[in-house]
Every structure is written in structure tokens, then in C-alpha cells.
Copies of this chain bind each other. A is one copy, B any other.
Amino acid sequence: MLARPRPRLQLTRSLRDHVAYRYLSSAPAITSGSGDVLGRRVDKKRLVILGSGWAGYPLARKVDKKHYDVTVISDSPNFNFTPLLASTSVGTLEFNNAVESVRALPHVNYHQAWVDRIDFASKTLACQPTLRYASRQPHQQDDALSYNTVKREELQDERLPVFTMEYDILVVAVGAYSATFGIPGVKENAHFLKNVNDARAIRARILECFEIAAMPGLSDEERKRVLSFVVVGGGPTGVEWAAELHDLVSSDIPRYYPSLVPLISITLYDVAPHILGNFDSSLQAYAEKKFARDNIRIRGRRTVEKVEPGWITIKEEGRIPFGLCVWSTGLAVNPLVAAIKEIPKGQKGATLLTDERLRALDASTDNKPMRDVYAIGDCAGVAGGPVLPATAQVAQQKALHLAKELNRAAKSGDAYQPVPFEFKNRGSLAYIGGWQALVDRTSAASGLKGGNAGRMAWLIWRSAYFTMSVSVRNKILIPTYWFLNWILGRDISRF
């Protein structure tokens, strides 16, 4: 046991604890998972949440821990604040601005693991920890090109043992994977933008491309190859990333690599004829005009055939070189969802079907809802209801609805009157570069309708995501970095 802080520090520590624990509601979390809260044994339902994304994290945060013993199981230790990932991937914000630690949620247990199997009858989960017991650290000083060549089989005996966990209530919120449509080489040679690790890899690679292009002895043709930035997918993620990259390339790169600026290209490919398919057509046109002015090439109606290291093959154009390829073409089925046979599936088998109270249906009882299993987020859909897009907005609304219902059910007891979930379209936002954004509220459920593009929409975009940021730390850091990077330029250090 390590010594506790000495008395002379008591004053400052008390102050800090006072501020941090009382007002910021970051009281100690419980790691035991035994319902042993603050030393007092209580009788609470064990609520297990699978996943820590836009569905799992808000639910874990908002559900009442006085009534539920909450455990999150996720192979990511973080909630990724996805709308800011594109910003972090070019240095408009820092990585920690787009991340919240699940472990830091007060009174929530967390285990970093996959769920291999759900036994709905005995209400138990088989979980495989995704951490290794011993660390292996490849040192880079001898050979910057060397890699950790440990084979997967060698790691088997370092894996932590599978553990089982019982639940009273289960919420499946495992989300979806990135779609590659079976196109060869995508996983190996393109970058996704789903989490902060992806964003970090992208930022390092962008800056690496410029360092490569600045090497002596290359032809301009070779420099152009490595400064060719390719985006596949014209949805909000692909568009926002292209826009953020253009911001970096027009504001900061000229300062550090002036002679390389004429060699840069940004190209966006999509199978659809237009970008931002879910937006109003006038806003689509606005974005396309803005991109054209910025020399971001939009290539619609294109089919990708394969991706090799440094080369992408487009059916209509042939083999195109790239320094970095970002891939964002929608979602694929989560393997856990594919493995669950007890719950009927929605379109293409990608979603678990629920009733309008978000309870998973039971295939063995003629699709009656299960009593204590819920499914929310990208991996879930309401049977018979409209097919909602797999967005953060839908996931979060379902999570907050479920938290509210679970809290009401616990408080009201037998008097509980369930309220069905109803999606309220709040509109869509997309950043398009140069302090401009799109706000599409043409299908909004309430408030001002219509679309908005430009500087005012950008203010709405920034305000919305600032408001949605979670921790006090990020409420302070996000505007700090916005300001610092505006006044000083983006940080181009790479590590």
C-alpha cells in the first residue's frame, strides 16, 4: 500500500476534491462490480451495457446509479466524440478533445473486453479481455523501419482468461464496423475514421506525406503521388474530412512547405452522383460549389476495384496514386450481431430488431419482446417503424430515452407506464471548410425548418458540438485549442 498524501497537502487536496467531486460530479467509481457502493451493500439490478459509443456511453452516463449497478463492456476504453474526429485528424483540435474515458464515469464499472457469447436463458455473458498480460514494447531507436513482428499465435498464452458475467438487464449497443464491400486491400491500405486512434494515424500520415515530398532527389511526379489525398465516400465523414484537410493545406502548409503547395491534390470518390446524399439538394449544390472553388475534386459515379499500397484502382479511371486514402463508405454488420441467433434481424441482417420500447424481439416466441434485453444504436432497429439512419443523433436519442425509461421504471415500480421511443429529427450538420458549414433542418421535427449554409451555419455547427462535449476538461480545452490554433496555426508536431 502506498502512503497517502501527507497532512500538509490536505488543504489543497481538499479544495481540489471539493471542486472536482462535488460540483463536477466525478465521485469515486466502483470497480468491484458487486453492488458494493460506498461501503454499503445494496440490492440493485445489474445493468450490463455492451459498447461505449453514442448509444452505450450516454446510457451509462444518464441511468440512475442509485437504482442500477451499471457495468460497461467494450473493447474501446473510450467514448469517441465522432463529430470532432475529422478536426483532430488535421490538428484543428487535439486528440484528447474528442475522447472521454469510460472508466472516468462515476459509479460505473468497466471492463475492456469483447463479448463472445450471450446466453439469454441463463442471463450470462462470456467475455474475452482484449488486453495482454505482459507488455512488449518495440523500441524504435535502432531501426525506425522495424516492426513488432510478434505473431498472433505467440500471444495466445498472454491473453487474459475469458470471464463470465451475469446480468439482470442487458443492453446491446455494440455498433457497426466499417463497410469495405469486400473490396481487396481496403483494410490494409486505407484509413478509416471511426475512432481517435484512426484520427491519430491519419494526422501522422498527412504530415509524413509532406515530409516525404520534401525529401531531396524526388521528381515532381513522385511528390505529386505522395501529396495525392484520396477520400472514398461522400457522406458527412468523408466531406468533413476533405474540408478539414483543405483548411490545413490552405492555412498552415504554405507556411512550412511553400514549394509543395502546387503539387497537392484532394479527390473525393463516391458511387453516388452527388455528395451528402441525405442533405437537401440546394445544400448539396452549395457544398459542391464550395469544393469546386477550393479545388477539391468530386468524382461521382465511381467504383473502386481495389486498393494497394499507394495505389487505388477506380473502374472508370484506372490506377490512381495516393499518399493517403481515407475510407468512409458506411457500415457493416458487427460480428456479435451476426452471431446472435435468438433475435430477428433487420435489413441485410445488420440490425437487431426491437419493439418501440427498444426491447429486443425473441425469435423463439414469435417475435414477442424479451423482458430484459434491449438493443440501441447502429446495431438496432425498431421492427415495423421507419428505417432510421445509423447516426450519432439516433443512437443518442435512443440511449437517453432508454435511460429515462429505466429510471422511471425503477422509481415508479408497479405504477410504471412505458412510453414508446419516437425519433425527433433535429436536423443534420456538416462542416465544409473555410469557416463554413451546412445546417439541414428541412425534415426537422420542431423549431425552425429549412436549410442554412455558410458562416452562420458554421457558428451553429461549432456551438452544437461545444454544447454536446461532455467533460469539464473538454469544455475548457476545446475552445482553448480552437483559439490557439486559429491564432498560432495548427500544431504540426508528429509522434
Residue ranges of A at the interface with B (Cβ–Cβ < 8 Å):
1-6, 9, 12-13, 16, 19-20, 24, 26, 28-33, 75, 77-78, 94-96, 99-101, 103-104, 110-114, 129-152, 155, 158-161, 163, 165, 177-178, 187-192, 194-197, 200-201, 205, 207-208, 211-212, 214-218, 226, 246, 249-251, 254-262, 264, 266, 293-296, 309-310, 323-324, 434-435, 472-473, 476-477, 480, 484, 486-489, 491-495
Contact = CB atoms under 8 A, between A and B. Distances in A.
Nearest to A492: B101
A313 to B, nearest CB: 14
Given A5-B251, A28-B254, A147-B147, 7 more contacts: A30-B258, A77-B493, A136-B309, A137-B191, A145-B159, A147-B148, A195-B495
Given A141-B194, A484-B476, A205 B135 contact: yes
Given A33-B216, A141-B177, A309-B134, A493 B160 contact: no
Contacts of A12: 486
A196 to B, nearest CB: 5
Given A28-B255, A31-B259, A211 B131 contact: yes
B187 A139 contact: yes
The residue among A29, A143, A147, A149 with the most chain B CB atoms within 10 A of its own CB is: A147
Contacts of A266: 2
A471 to B, nearest CB: 8
A188 B136 contact: yes
Contacts of A294: 2-3
Contacts of A1: 261-262, 264, 295
A263 to B, nearest CB: 8
A254 B2 CA distance: 11
B486 A103 contact: no
A273 B26 CA distance: 43
A142 B495 CA distance: 25
Return the 9 tightest CB-CB contacts between A and B, nearest first: A134-B310, A134-B309, A130-B144, A101-B493, A163-B217, A1-B262, A163-B216, A2-B295, A99-B493
Given A216-B163, A255-B29, A256-B103, A477 B488 contact: no
Contact of A2 (B32, B145, B190, B249): B249
A194 B137 CA distance: 14
26 contacts: A1-B262, A2-B250, A4-B250, A5-B251, A13-B251, A26-B489, A31-B258, A77-B211, A77-B493, A78-B495, A94-B96, A101-B493, A101-B494, A103-B492, A110-B211, A129-B212, A130-B144, A131-B215, A132-B145, A133-B226, A135-B189, A136-B188, A137-B205, A158-B309, A197-B495, A476-B484
Nearest to A146: B152
A215 B434 contact: no
A198 B203 CA distance: 19
Contacts of A13: 251
Given A9-B434, A200-B495, A26 B145 contact: no
A139 B100 contact: no
A495 B196 contact: yes
B145 A130 contact: yes
A161 B137 CA distance: 29
B491 A473 contact: yes
Contacts of A130: 144-145
B216 A165 contact: yes
Contacts of A295: 1-3
A99 B491 CA distance: 10
A149 to B, nearest CB: 6
Contacts of A211: 77, 103, 110-112, 131
A96 to B, nearest CB: 6
B148 A148 contact: yes
Contact of A493 (B96, B161, B177, B489): B96
Contacts of A16: 486-487, 489
A189 B137 contact: yes
Contact of A151 (B135, B149, B491): B149
Q: Which of A197, A207, A487 has the most CB of B within 10 A?
A: A487
A208 B489 CA distance: 34
B160 A215 contact: yes
A264 to B, nearest CB: 6
Given A96-B493, A216-B33, A145 B137 contact: no
Contacts of A75: 144
A251 to B, nearest CB: 7
Nearest to A209: B135
A226 B310 CA distance: 41
